Amino acid sequence: MNPSDKDKMSEKTLDAELVAQAKAGKMSAFELLVNRYQQRVANVIAKFIKDRHEIQDVAQEVFIKVFRALPNFRGDSSFYTWIYRIAVNTSKNHLVAKSRRIQNTQVEFEDAESFGSNEDYRNLDTPDAVYSRGELEQTMSKAISQLPEDLKQAIVLREVDGLSYEEIAVKMDCPIGTVRSRIFRARDAIDQAMRPLLSEQSTRKQHVR
Amino acid sequence: MSDKSKQNISELMDGELSNDCSRFLIKRMQSDESLQSSWNNYHMLRSCLQQEHDAPVMHNLGAQVIGQLNKEADFTESVETNHKSGWLKSLAGAAIAASVAVVAVFTFNQNQVTPGVEPLPIYAKTSEQLVNPPNAAMVRVEQPVRYTRYPSLTPQIQTYLTESNNQPQIPVYYNAEYANKIIIQTRQKAQQNIAEE
């Protein structure tokens, strides 16, 4: 049975529910929120900062600031609009602080010459991190490309074009229940493909610790 | 974990699940690692498809953030404990200093008391002295109002005042050693009286 529009928990209400629980001290609710918005925040930061490691560090800083400022979030704007502003300010502050650090660092002329650009100077990714990131992205891309065409179309219309289930049903000329099922099956197929790699990574991390 | 639960997660993140089911699922997800993992992986797929501007694909940043917040909370707690223990240390130091001062005052006062001479009582003169003794060596003794301090009043007026006086007793402060001596003497007299009877 499909819930009516009135009965559905909209994405805004879902955010509000998770925010309310996080405000009440439920860290697990905040964790769900972070994982929900991590990529959109990283995309915003990437407009200012190029180094991938720094993007991850700044994203972490953004969410820590978000957590501390949660009591001030009244819900006048959407949760994403609010964290977007925090992400932009944190990125700008990071760049300002970094330029100060670079100005304060005495770099020998020969050393400075050996760095072709500031970009190289900043790129401090470890080979391990590059490898695991590459592996993750490759597995994901492969899993997406191997999806049956109807599932791939449904998930792309939802995630990339941002269409609602109803709009996708019209576009794909199928019942809304089919859209629900296709989107779920697409996600589940990716989930199954990623699980062995992610559990391997978490085991590797535990060994390193 | 059933496929139905996972499909519910998929619908929840798209705002397509009913309010009741959503609330129930949010609660379940917080205690079920497998459901959390599906939530994370479904969002990672979203991340990968929405990835822009050379941003890295983010995965489970939530766990890192919560870890960092917990670390900071532990650090703050330990700093507060250290701060408290420092405060306790200084308080203990102050207490020792105060004890030494009290001993010094007592010793000094004992030297001042002339044997055989009754020290004069000190009457409370200020509102503060009604509550606290004037100095550390004094004790508070509740006494009825004594109008003999005012010899200029006629005996009739004194009697009238004493009889009509319903005011609370005014505390009078005596040297602690003297007060103890009086108490001991009173008890000894009482015991003697009982023995004689």
Sign of CA dihedral B63, B66, B72, B73: negative
Of the candidates B38, B54, B64, which has its C-beta nearest A50's C-beta?
A: B54
Closest CA to B62 of B46, B92, B41: B41
3-state secondary structure of B84: helix
At residue A66, what are phi and psi to the nearest 5 degrees?
-60, -45
The B residues from 83 to 122 touching A (CB cutoff 8 Å) are: none
Of the candidates B6, B22, B61, which has its C-beta nearest A38's C-beta?
A: B61
Return the structure tokens found at B17: 């699940």
Chain B closest-CA separation from residue A83 CA (Å): 15
Chain B closest-CA separation from residue A108 CA (Å): 31
Q: Cβ of A140 and B14 within 8 Å?
A: no
Closest CA to A10 of B4, B62, B12: B12
Within 8 A of B7 by CB-CB distance, chain A residues are: 180-181, 184
Return the structure tokens found at B13: 């993140």
At residue B154, what are phi and psi to the nearest 5 degrees?
-70, 155
**Neighbour-count burial for A10-28, b at 16+ CB within 10 Å, e otherwise:** ebeebbbbbbebbeeebbb
- pLDDT value of position B82: 64
ipTM of the shown complex = 0.76
A159 and B CB contact within 8 Å: yes
Residues B169 and B150: their CA atoms lie apart, in Å, by: 17
Closest CA to B169 of B130, B148, B143, B133: B143
Q: Are A180 and B11 in contact (CB under 8 A)?
A: yes
Return the structure tokens found at B195: 């023995």
| Terminal alpha carbon distance of chain A | 47
Per-residue pLDDT tens listing for chain A (209 residues): 566 666 888 888 899 999 999 999 899 999 999 999 998 899 899 989 988 889 999 999 999 999 999 998 888 888 999 999 999 999 999 999 887 776 665 444 444 333 333 433 334 445 455 455 577 778 888 888 899 999 999 999 998 899 999 999 999 999 999 999 999 999 999 888 888 877 776 666 555 54
The verdict on domain A126-209 having CATH code 1.20.810.10 is no
Could you count the other beta carbons within 10 Å of the beta carbon of residue A69? 12
Q: Cβ of A30 and B22 within 8 Å?
A: no
Would you identify the CATH topology of the domain A7-124? Answer: Rna Polymerase Sigma Factor; Chain: A (1.10.1740)
The B residues from 9 to 48 touching A (CB cutoff 8 Å) are: 10-19, 21-23, 26, 29-31, 36-48
Residues A95 and A25: their CA atoms lie apart, in Å, by: 32
Instruction: Spell out the domain ranges in chain A.
Output: 7-124, 126-209
Determine which of B19, B23, B74 to mutate to test the interface with A (most A C-beta atoms within 10 Å). Answer: B19
pLDDT tens-digit profile of A6-47? Answer: 688 888 889 999 999 999 989 999 999 999 999 889 989 998
- Return the higher-pLDDT residue of B178 and A17: A17
Q: Cβ of B62 and A33 within 8 Å?
A: yes
Residues A42 and A50: their CA atoms lie apart, in Å, by: 11
A133 and B CB contact within 8 Å: yes
- pLDDT value of position A185: 95
Q: Are A80 and A124 in contact (CB under 8 A)?
A: no
- pLDDT value of position B4: 86
Residues B8 and B16: their CA atoms lie apart, in Å, by: 9
B129 and A CB contact within 8 Å: no
DSSP of A65-96: HHHHHGGG--SSS-HHHHHHHHHHHHHHHHHH
Residues B188 and A59: their CA atoms lie apart, in Å, by: 83
B128 and A CB contact within 8 Å: no
- pLDDT value of position A124: 40
Of the candidates A31, A137, A180, which has its C-beta nearest B57's C-beta?
A: A137
pLDDT tens-digit profile of B117-138? Answer: 555 556 556 666 656 665 656 6
Q: Are A91 and A44 in contact (CB under 8 A)?
A: yes
Q: Cβ of A13 and B54 within 8 Å?
A: no
Q: Are B70 and A38 in contact (CB under 8 A)?
A: no
Within 8 A of B56 by CB-CB distance, chain A residues are: 42, 52, 55-56, 133
- pLDDT value of position A115: 38
- Return the higher-pLDDT residue of B135 and B35: B35
> DSSP strand E in chain B: where?
122-123, 138-143, 170-175
Average pLDDT over residues B138-153: 57
Instruction: Spell out the domain ranges in chain B.
Output: 3-59, 73-112, 115-196
Alpha carbon B88 to its chain centroid, in Å, reads 13
Return the structure tokens found at B86: 């420092």
0.90 cut: is pTM over it?
A: no
pLDDT tens-digit profile of B49-87? Answer: 876 657 788 878 898 899 988 888 776 666 666 666 666
Q: Check whether B25 has a pLDDT greater than 90.
A: yes
Residues B171 and B111: their CA atoms lie apart, in Å, by: 26
